[in-house]
Structure formats: C-alpha cells, structure tokens
Amino acid sequence: MVVGCGALGNEVLKNLVLMGAEHLTVVDFDRVESGNLSRSVLFTKEDARQGRYKVDVIAERLKAMNPRLSIRTIRGDIAYDVGLGLVRQMDVIIGCVDNRWARYCINRLCMRAGIPWVDGGIDALEGTVRVFVPGRNCYACNLGPEGLKDLSRRMPCSGVIRREEAAGKAPTTSVIASVIGAVQVQEALKLLHPELLASGQMTSLCGRMFYYEGAQLTGRVVDFQAYDADCPVHDRWEPVRRTSVTESLPVGDALAVLRRELQSDNLTLHLSGDCFVDYVIRRDNDARKEVMLPGRAVSAFVEQDKELSGIPFSGLYQHEYRAVGDDFPYPSLPLSALGIPPQDVLYVSAPTGDFYMEMV
Ligand SMILES: [Zn+2]
C-alpha cells in the first residue's frame, strides 16, 4: 500500500512497478494540479486541466506500464477512510505523506495490524527515510515534545474544535523525490525478503533514519529506535475475529449482531479512528446546535454555519462520543456515519473481555 500520490508517491509507485510489484493499493484524496507537474512523472497537463483524482490517473498510468498489474484505489484520507482489515492484508506500507498527523495515523494502523512501514519525507533539498517494524520501533514513540505539540494541533478529537490547518507546502524538486523515493522502495523490498536480512546479505534501515541533503551532499544514518513499553499507540490488535457486521449496518442492528456473535450483553463499541459529534454549542448559551457528524467534519460545518462561523472556536463546545452502546441516541445511523470505514476492525468491550472484530 502506498499512502500519498504526490512527488514522492509518484517516484515510489513508478519504482515498485518497474521492480515487478503487481498487487498495489494506493490512497490519496487529492486531484492533480498544475503545480504537481514539475515533480510527478505520472501526471500530465491534461490530467491537471481536467482536475482528475490522483489515484485514478496513477492506476491508469501504472497499468500502461504493466497490464498485469492489479491495483486498488482508495480516494480518501488515511486518517479516516482505510479500514484496519484492509491494512492487515498488506505486506508493507510506504508512507509518502507531508505531515506528522498522517504519519501518526499510518503508524497506528501498522502497529495495530502488525505490518511494517517505510516513511519518507522531503523538504527542498533534504529528505529522510525511516523504517518501522511492529515490536521493534514506533513512529509515535520517536516524536519529541515539538512533534507531539504539532500533532495535537492536527488531531480531530482533542477536546476542542480545531481549525483545519493548510499543510505547509515547501518547494521541493523531482530530484529529491527521486532520491528519497528510491531508498524507500529499496527498504520496502528488503522487508519482503526477510531471508536476505537474516543471512546478513542485506541490512534494513529499521530502527535508524537515513538523512540526505543535496546542497552540500551529506548523507547520514542515525539511530531512530525509541520504543516505550507504555506507549498505547503501538498496541497490537489481536486476536482478530470475523464479524458479519458491515459499515452500512445501523448502529442498533450492528450491536445486536455483535451481541449474538459474542454471546454477550452490555457491549461497547469504541470509536477508535475518529469521534462522533452530537452537537456544537456556544459556551455562553444553552441553544443546542445538533449536527451529528464524524468529528473531522465539524470544522467545515462550523465555518459554513451563519450563527457559528463568527465565533472563535474557544467559544464553542462540542459533545463527542468516543464509544457507543445500547444507550446511544441514534441507533438508526449506519456505522459509516460514525466515521467507521469499510473493512475496519471493530474494537468491542464486553463484560467477558475485549474483542477485535473484522468486518467483511
Ligand atoms: Zn509507540
């Protein structure tokens, strides 16, 4: 799975197909713009003119390179739209994203699923590659105080409503994307061949970071192996059981099916990826403003609402559900309206224990 189809994603995908990868999943929510063309080998002016989705263009171009390629496209956001069950089917995930929140989300999925991932980052003439293997090292454990501060600004569910921040767009070149994307693919291929790593024929970057700087031509490999015993982010979700629940099922029905499958009452379904918001109100006013949205959609809702848009977010309060049970007041809403993506793994608490239920 390749997450992000920008400059890095283009390079990574091109290399993967040239190296013979024939089963790919690509994730991106963006459309091709003219600004992408100077550093994206797979996009054309016509794609930008038509405003086509990057994943659609990528699938077409890569199939032209290898007609036997099977490629699944997800037009969405790694933070919300990719189910853990799908991640569990992957051999490796390659992250080609440009912000810490997206990296945090990739890491959380990979750690829960037990799948290794390769991170790449580029900025002007510099770039980095890091490899994370569940049980060995974890992106979240390696975030310093500054990283955690930046992350909390982007988290959709941190107690108050956040304005969406425009991602910092540093000017990058195709050259740095080529260097870093190539190293990412090399490292991903090593992870697919543990026998070569075990025999010492090859060495993985796992637990270290490769840093490259083009202006003075410096390259370094430094340790990057923090792994804290009490980090909740890298908990593995296992064992996983199958459930016949799907994301289109209403909450009430889904709970009934889970009760039957787990032979237990008093279930709680935890909303792990994003929270569900019930209402938004002014702090100095009792008038409820019912919105019933997944948390990530609240900022856009508030911006568009005449009554709320002029109020600073610090003057608003939102009611969040982080878990739903039999007392959830909207049992007819489908699970998808709560922000649960297709093929996700549901985290369910019962009096008899906690269960991880993979949707079909
Ligand atoms: Zn961790």
If one counts every other C-beta atom within 10 angstroms of the C-beta of residue 115, the result is 22
In a domain, 235, yes or no: no
Specify whether the CB–CB gap between 249 and 261 falls below 8 A.
no
Nearest partner of 8 among 82, 119, 117, judged by Cα: 119
Nearest partner of 269 among 205, 356, 182, 203, judged by Cα: 356
Q: 63 CA distance to ligand 1 centroid (A)?
A: 37
Do 173 and 136 sit in the same domain of this protein? yes
Do 174 and 248 sit in the same domain of this protein? no
Task: Give the range of the structural domain holding residue 260, as residue numbers without chain letter.
Answer: 240-359
Q: 358 CA distance to ligand 1 centroid (A)?
A: 23
What six digits make up the tokens of 36? 């992408």
Q: 95 CA distance to ligand 1 centroid (A)?
A: 17
In a domain, 231, yes or no: no
Do 122 and 265 sit in the same domain of this protein? no
Q: Which of 190, 223, 256 is the last residue of a domain?
A: 223
Q: Is the pLDDT of residue 310 over 90?
A: no
In a domain, 234, yes or no: no
Do 219 and 244 sit in the same domain of this protein? no
**Across 275-298, average pLDDT:** 78
CATH number of the CATH domain containing 107? 3.40.50.720
Do 23 and 115 sit in the same domain of this protein? yes
Residue 29 belongs to what H/E stretch? Answer: none
Do 164 and 303 sit in the same domain of this protein? no
Do 36 and 161 sit in the same domain of this protein? yes
Q: 330 CA distance to ligand 1 centroid (A)?
A: 34
Instruction: Report the pLDDT value the prediction gives residue 309, as an integer from 0 to 100.
Output: 82
Specify whether the CB–CB gap between 344 and 356 falls below 8 A.
no
Specify whether the CB–CB gap between 57 and 43 falls below 8 A.
yes
**Across 197-219, average pLDDT:** 96
In a domain, 336, yes or no: yes
**Across 97-118, average pLDDT:** 95
Q: Which of 196, 223, 250 is the last residue of a domain?
A: 223
Q: Residue 151's pLDDT band (boundaries 50, 70, 90)?
A: confident
Do 246 and 207 sit in the same domain of this protein? no
Do 272 and 201 sit in the same domain of this protein? no
Q: Is the pLDDT of residue 116 over 90?
A: yes
Q: 234 CA distance to ligand 1 centroid (A)?
A: 5
CB neighbours of 237 closer than 8 A, spacing ≥ 6? 84, 112, 113, 345, 347, 356
**Across 331-338, average pLDDT:** 93
Q: 350 CA distance to ligand 1 centroid (A)?
A: 26
Do 269 and 162 sit in the same domain of this protein? no
User: In whole numbers, what is the pLDDT of the chain averaged over residues?
Assistant: 90
In a domain, 229, yes or no: no
Q: 176 CA distance to ligand 1 centroid (A)?
A: 29
Q: 110 CA distance to ligand 1 centroid (A)?
A: 11
Q: 313 CA distance to ligand 1 centroid (A)?
A: 31
Q: Is the pLDDT of residue 295 over 70?
A: yes
Q: 231 CA distance to ligand 1 centroid (A)?
A: 5
Question: Which CA distances in Å does 291 have to 31, 80, 322, 331, 346?
Answer: 28, 19, 16, 16, 24
In a domain, 174, yes or no: yes
Q: 143 CA distance to ligand 1 centroid (A)?
A: 9
Instruction: Report the pLDDT value the prediction gives residue 273, as an integer from 0 to 100.
Output: 58
**Across 234-249, average pLDDT:** 96
Do 120 and 215 sit in the same domain of this protein? yes
What six digits make up the tokens of 284? 């100095």
Alpha-carbon dihedral sign for residues 23, 28, 29, 30: negative
Q: 142 CA distance to ligand 1 centroid (A)?
A: 8
Instruction: Report the pLDDT value the prediction gives residue 144, as an integer from 0 to 100.
Output: 75
* Domains of the chain: total: 2
Instruction: Report the pLDDT value the prediction gives residue 154, as an integer from 0 to 100.
Output: 62
Q: Is the pLDDT of residue 298 over 90?
A: no
Q: 139 CA distance to ligand 1 centroid (A)?
A: 6
SS3 breakdown of the chain: % helix, strand, coil, rounded to 5? 35, 25, 45
Do 256 and 219 sit in the same domain of this protein? no
Q: Which of 176, 196, 223 is the last residue of a domain?
A: 223
**Across 110-126, average pLDDT:** 96
Using the CB atoms, write b or e for 260-280: b if 16+ within 10 Å: ebbebeebbbebbbbbbbbeb
Whether the link from the prior residue into 239 is cis, omega within 30° of 0, is: yes
Q: Residue 163's pLDDT band (boundaries 50, 70, 90)?
A: very low
Q: 207 CA distance to ligand 1 centroid (A)?
A: 13
